[in-house]
Every structure is written in structure tokens, then in C-alpha cells.
Amino acid sequence: MTAPEAPVLEVREVSKIYGTGDARVHALRGVSLTVERGDYVAIMGASGSGKSTLMNILGCLDVPTTGTYLVDGTDVGALGDRQLAVLRNRKIGFVFQSFNLIPRMSALANVELPLAYGGVGVGARRRRALAALDQVGLGDRLHHDPNELSGGQQQRVAVARALVTAPSLLLADEPTGNLDTTSTGDVLRILDRLSSAGRTIVLITHENDVAAHAKRVIRLVDGRITEDHRQAPVDGPPPRLAAVAP
């Protein structure tokens, strides 16, 4: 199922049309985009520009009307529902604006869940979930339910849940949209660290401060990519200095 040399994701001339007749909305209009392993991409755009539509396609939660989408070299359009579910579980970790944790289930159980779906045994599940929660600094909140955690802590649990499967792609839609400044900083630092460790991240945001953490910024306007540029991430390694003449 995996071509090792393939980009993590490859979007070719994707369009998405919702509705029919007078109610037709052209949400994406010929989007092409390649993301290589280890990249950290921020997708920006005004409300209604197609960000969530693109996120749903990248996350294999929805299919394009036309065009092709490949994850690790696998053509998503050629997969049935079952195969799609497996691909989502193995290859994509989701973080949503609204956390989407299961209520009345501990942080630990929430993080173990995708491993349970993936058929990982009880012992390995526990070990990996503990490690993931430790990575987001919540090793001391394992048995708290979501309603006993702050928004920032809930989102860190969600990040742990997203990365516990060691996915090819971490996909986040406005992950700091519901967080205060301090919690936003916590989550962005975790993403920075994951990026430095080689994780591939695609993050959707309309905030410049958030996008500043990415290595690459893509701008969507009315369903089209109008800009795609690389940048030096904030708090990243300093740009190399030119040799100074004596």
C-alpha cells in the first residue's frame, strides 16, 4: 500500500462542488499541492475560501468532485470505504478546533482509542498512549476526564491521540482557535517540537501568528491557491549568517 519514495500527500487538480443547480457552490477550483515528508505547512485563507473542504479531502473524510488525491503514493479515489477507514487510522492524525475528545473517558483511554481501532494489543496500547501523553506534558493527567481538563490540556490530549499511531501526516484544523494565548503557545510549541522531530504537519489557520510557526505557507482565495512560499519558522534555527570579512 505504500510507495516509500512518494510524497506524503499529492493533490492534483482537485475541485469540489457542493449541491446542485442554483445551490451549486464551487468550494475548490483546481487545487494542486505536494507535501514531502517532514514539511510543516500552514494553509491560510478567509472564511469560506475552502480551507475546511481541503482539510476534509486531505484527511480522506470527503472525496473531490474531480481530480486526484494520493497519500503516500496511494490513490485515495481507488479505495473502498473499508480501505479508506484503515488508511485514515494508520496514516492520518487529526486535531480539530473543538478537541473532539470522548466525554466520560479518561485522557489515557481517549489516546488509546485509535490504537484499539487499529488492532494494537492492550499492553502496547497502554505503553504508546503513556508515551504520547508524556510527549505533550500530560503524564500527570492520565486519569482525568475531558471535563476535568482545561481547553489547552484537552487539545494536548487531542494532539497525543493524533500522534499515538505514528501517522504519516498530522492534520490540524484551527487547532488553537478555541484556546487562550498561553494554551495556544503550549500547543504551538508541541507542534514545533514534532516538526523538528521530522513529523509532517498540515495546519489550517487564519491567524498569522500561528502560520508563522510553519515552514511553508499556502494561501487559498475562493477555492484557489494564490500563494505558496517557504519561510523561516519563528523560534527555529537562526538563518545562516554570511561570513563576515575581517
Which residues would be at the binding site for ligand ADP (CB under 6 A)? 18-19, 25, 27, 45, 47-53
The size of the interface with Mg ion (CB under 5 A), counted in residues, is 2
Which residue number, 16 or 125, has a Cβ lying nearer to ligand ADP? 16
Q: Does 89 bind Mg ion (CB under 5 A)?
A: no
From the list ligand ADP, Mg ion, none, partner contacted by residue 49 (C-beta under 5 to 8 A by kind): ligand ADP
Written as one string, the DSSP assignment of 185-243 is HHHHHHHHHHHHTT--EEEE-S-HHHHTTSSEEEEEETTEEEEEEE-PPTTSPPPPPPP
Give the one entry of Mg ion, ligand ADP, none that residue 114 binds, where binding means its C-beta sits below a cut-off of 5 to 8 angstroms depending on kind. Answer: none
Q: How far is the CB of 24 from ligand ADP (least distance, A)?
A: 9
Give the shortest CB-53-to-Mg ion separation in angstroms. 8
53 interacts with, out of ligand ADP, Mg ion, none, CB within 5 to 8 A per kind: ligand ADP
Q: Specify the DSSP element, H or E, that contains 9.
A: strand 9-18
Burial status of residue 214 (CB atoms within 10 A of its CB: 0-12, 13-18, 19 or more): buried
Name the grid cell of 205. Answer: 489557520
Least distance from ligand ADP to the Cβ atom of residue 124, Å: 36
Q: Which residue has the cell 498569522?
A: 208
Q: How many CB atoms lie within 10 A of CB 76?
A: 20
Choice between 27 and 170, CB closer to ligand ADP: 27
The nearest distance, CB 136 to ligand ADP, in angstroms, is 26
Cα–Cα dist 174/216, whole Å: 16
Based on CB atoms, which residue is closest to ligand ADP, 66 or 196? Answer: 66
Of 19 and 118, the one with the shorter C-beta distance to ligand ADP is 19
Q: How many CB atoms lie within 10 A of CB 31?
A: 24
Contact positions with Mg ion (CB under 5 A) in 48-77: 51-52
What type of residue sits at position 84?
Answer: L
244-to-40, 232, 237, 238, 239 alpha-carbon distances in Å: 31, 21, 19, 16, 14
Q: Are 132 and 160 in contact (CB under 8 A)?
A: yes
Q: Which residue's CB comes closest to Mg ion?
A: 52
Q: Are strands 40-44 and 201-204 parallel, antiparallel or unpaired?
A: parallel
Q: How far is the CB of 62 from ligand ADP (least distance, A)?
A: 9
Question: Judged by CB, which is closer to ligand ADP: 45, or 233?
Answer: 45
Residue placing its CB nearer to ligand ADP in the complex, 48 or 118: 48
List residues binding Mg ion (CB under 5 A): 51-52
